[in-house]
Amino acid sequence: MEAAVWVIILPLLTAFFIGISKVYVKKIFVPLVISSAIIYLYLLILVINNSYPPNVYSVGAWRLIGINLMVDPFSGLFLLIIALLFLPVIIFSVKYIKSYKHEYFIFTYIMTAGIAGMVLTADLFNLYVFLEVSSLSSCALVALKKTNKGLEGAYKYLVMSTLGSFFILLATILTYYLTGTLNIAEISLEFNEIPFKIKSALMAFFVFGYVLKIGLIPLHFWLPDTYEDSPIPYNVLSSGLVMKSAVYALIKVLYIIFGIDFLDKSGLLQIGVFWGVITFIVAHLLAFQQSNLSRLLAYSSIAQIAYIMIGLFVGTEGGLIGGNFHILNHAIMKGTLFLVTAIFYYSLSAVNIEDIKGLAYKFPILSFTFVVASLAIVGLPPFNGFISKWLIVEAALESGFVYAAFFILVGTFLSLTYYLKVIITLYTKNDKEIVVEEPGLSLSLPTIFLGSLCIVFGVVPSLPLRLINKIPTFLLDNGEYIRVLLGG
């Protein structure tokens, strides 16, 4: 289990040595970045393999006094996403990022360490600390290019993230005041004695704080601005991991600390499903109006997060399986779309949808990859997005949320309209002569790899579902989580 500690430490050490290499030995920069990412993949695989049955590691061997790290199927899913995204993005970025190269990789590694810490920690305060590490480094990456749009997006990100952090920290402090502990399992036990109204107020603080970081409607306005002029490879990790890590933290707090019975009794499950429906309808309509490709993908991400929230707030085993599968699928699908978009920008400085007109004839394989990821994220068979969306629809129907299932089908049609708009533009012949810079294998191969997973996980969904099917055990029955963490 020591590998779990190194999953957090290695990115931090790498970020430190990248800074050293900039000052002293610039020649080792690329080998350092690539070799560290490969070793990191190996460590992630080791930890994921230990996620079931779950394992607890106590840093310093002080079981309930020190820092506890817990590897379970839920955290294992997020480590799997890091494993699938991180190395391809690093390889892609080595060639793609041309300015502020050292700074980009330093903040990327720190951000990844923060996300890994979030999904492994079993301590409520450390959950907040690691969330801030990932949020602040993410904010720095948004501002990295130092353009007016980038700085504006970073400023909005910082303001909204800080506001969300305030409510999360306030709820954490109050929780410690009421329970006298920060260990998540012990808090869950102590919460049984706390009055309903106080628990409801604490839950409201947690929900509001995390939703500010997730970006559900109407708290979404800052999010598209952070995507518009930030380094596009960073957008892959932002959409696939940073936004999802806040979802992870929220679900872990709600299901483990408050419990499914309280969530149902308080009405939060019903509110969460309704909020998700409103969010994805509005997000799809806003996405259709966009001319900038990155902003279109940003609004699409908001909509996909809403689908995930519906699955997770249905409150059943099927909903949790569908929602978590869609977390994985969205990371892959949107990662592919952003990487293809990055290649279009790299080769032709294409920013708007109109700029990619006719590029399919210059980049046939990459354009086909874009089409595959687009149809997958819309939710059409035989791609991975169809499977997870279908599981969410099925769970919604079984739980009586008929309106949610109906509007998910409507949302599928809405998303198809704007993705078809992009695809048609891509395959429309351009009367002007298009001069492009060839991306090379270091940009193409990571993109095609992620795109191929849209097909693989659609045709053989059992591969990731072996892990995902075990997640409801630890969310619906928080007693199982408590037993493992406390060793009772």
481: region left, alpha or beta (phi > 0 left; psi from -120 to 50 alpha): alpha
Handedness of CA 260, 261, 263, 264 (dihedral sign): positive
**pTM (2 d.p.):** 0.94
CA angle centred on 349, ends 347 and 354, rounded to 5°: 110
Q: Return the bridge partners of 292, or none.
A: 352
Q: How far apart are CA 154 and CA 160, in angstroms?
A: 10
Q: How far apart are CA 238 and CA 244, in angstroms?
A: 8
- Reported as type and span, the H/E element at residue 451 is helix 441-459
- Residue burial 58-68, b: 16+ Cβ < 10 Å; e: rest: beeeeeeeebb
Q: How far apart are CA 96 and CA 230, in angstroms?
A: 13
DSSP state of 422: H
Q: Return the bridge partners of 56, or none.
A: 70
pLDDT score of 86: 95
DSSP state of 253: I
Q: How far apart are CA 86 and CA 90, in angstroms?
A: 6
Residue 119 makes CB contacts below 8 A (sequence gap 6+) with: 74, 75, 78, 79, 245, 248
Q: Return the bridge partners of 183, or none.
A: 123
**What total number of domains does the chain contain?**
1
Residue 419 makes CB contacts below 8 A (sequence gap 6+) with: 374, 375, 377, 378
Q: Return the bridge partners of 234, or none.
A: none
SS3 per residue for 290-307: CCEHHHHHHHHHHHHHHH
For residue 18, give both structure tokens. Answer: 């990248």
Q: Is omega for the bond preceding 218 within 30 degrees of 0, making it cis?
A: yes
pLDDT score of 61: 54
Q: How far apart are CA 335 and CA 304, in angstroms?
A: 13
- Residue 63's Cβ-side half-sphere holds a number of Cα atoms within 13 Å equal to 9
pLDDT score of 64: 46
Q: How far apart are CA 310 and CA 269, in angstroms?
A: 9
Q: How far apart are CA 47 and CA 478, in angstroms?
A: 22
Which regions of 174-262 does DSSP assign to beta strands (E)?
A: none
DSSP state of 354: G
The torsion defined by the Cα of 223, 351, 359 and 99, in degrees rounded to 10, comes to -100
Per-residue pLDDT of the chain (488 residues; tens, 9 = 90+): 588 889 999 999 999 999 988 877 778 889 999 999 999 999 999 999 988 888 888 776 554 456 788 999 999 999 999 999 999 999 999 999 988 999 999 999 999 999 999 999 999 999 999 999 999 999 999 999 888 888 998 999 999 999 999 999 999 999 999 998 899 989 999 888 899 999 999 999 999 999 999 988 888 888 888 898 889 999 999 999 999 999 999 999 999 999 999 999 999 999 999 999 999 999 999 999 999 999 999 999 999 999 999 999 999 999 999 999 999 999 999 999 999 999 999 988 888 899 899 899 989 999 999 999 999 999 999 999 999 999 999 999 999 999 999 999 999 999 999 999 999 999 998 877 777 778 889 999 999 999 999 999 999 999 999 999 999 988 998 888 888 888 75
Residue 260 · residue 319 · CB < 8 Å: no
Query: Measured between alpha carbons, how far is residue 199 from residues 178, 191, 205 in Å?
Result: 10, 8, 10
- Reported as type and span, the H/E element at residue 69 is strand 67-71
For residue 296, give both structure tokens. Answer: 């279109």
For residue 212, give both structure tokens. Answer: 């500010």
CA angle centred on 142, ends 141 and 148, rounded to 5°: 130
- Residue burial 366-375, b: 16+ Cβ < 10 Å; e: rest: bbebbbbbbb
Domain that holds residue 153: 2-486
Q: Pick from 161, 162, 331: which is nearest to 244 by CA?
A: 331
Q: How far apart are CA 414 and CA 330, in angstroms?
A: 17
Indicate the pairing of strand 67-71 with strand 55-59. antiparallel
Query: Measured between alpha carbons, how far is residue 71 from residues 2, 98, 421 in Å?
Result: 11, 37, 43
